[in-house]
Amino acid sequence: MADSKKQIYHERQKLQFCLLHSLNNLFQDKNAFTRKDLDDIAEKLVLEDPYKGNWARLSVIFKPHHNSLTGNYDINVLISAVEGKGKRVVWHDRRNKASSINLDESEGKLMGIVLNIPVKRYGGFWRSRHWVSLRRINGVWYNLDSDFESPYSFESTEELTDFLDGAIDGGTEVLLVKDDAD
């Protein structure tokens, strides 16, 4: 197991660039996306936004789709980035348990799972969300959380299902990344 973990690409957390790290971990490629790539996607979304006249003065820093200083990109950037790689995002209906997700679906159909987890830091004073990728590699599901020192392997799909059920119960959004051909 240790040897297979060495072959897994795992990018660590810096500032609030967890979406960048999550995407690179999901695609298993340190060059899948750069900060500039995600900034460009966010800017393109701004230009295409029909409501851009309604922004606040702080929009120079706290832009509609990301914070220009720290990152912290939103779901729109994730969807655009994934679609640009020929994949699509399917939002899991949180009213359903994780057992409704076909975790044994071929890797050609279900590339991975992206979680958007609510987090509280500094005694609950700071509330935010954190992007995490889960990916099956060589038949084993891994939690590639950029806050972890190394990837965490799930022992079974049942363990992953239990993990996802707990995450859903805690307010986590579950996004399935699939091939566009489905």
Catalytic residues: 18, 130, 145
Helix 18-27 / helix 75-84 crossing angle, nearest 10 deg = 30
> Of all helices (H) and strands (E), which one includes residue 91?
strand 87-91
- Alpha-carbon distance 32 to 29, whole Å? 5
Q: How far apart are CA 124 and CA 115, in angstroms?
A: 20
Amino acid at 107: E
Tokens of 73: 């990109």
- Is 24 in contact with 9 (CB distance < 8 Å)? yes
Return the structure tokens found at 88.
């699509």
Residue 28: strand, helix, or coil? coil
Counting Cβ atoms within 10 Å, is residue 18 exposed (0-12), middle (13-18) or buried (19+)? buried
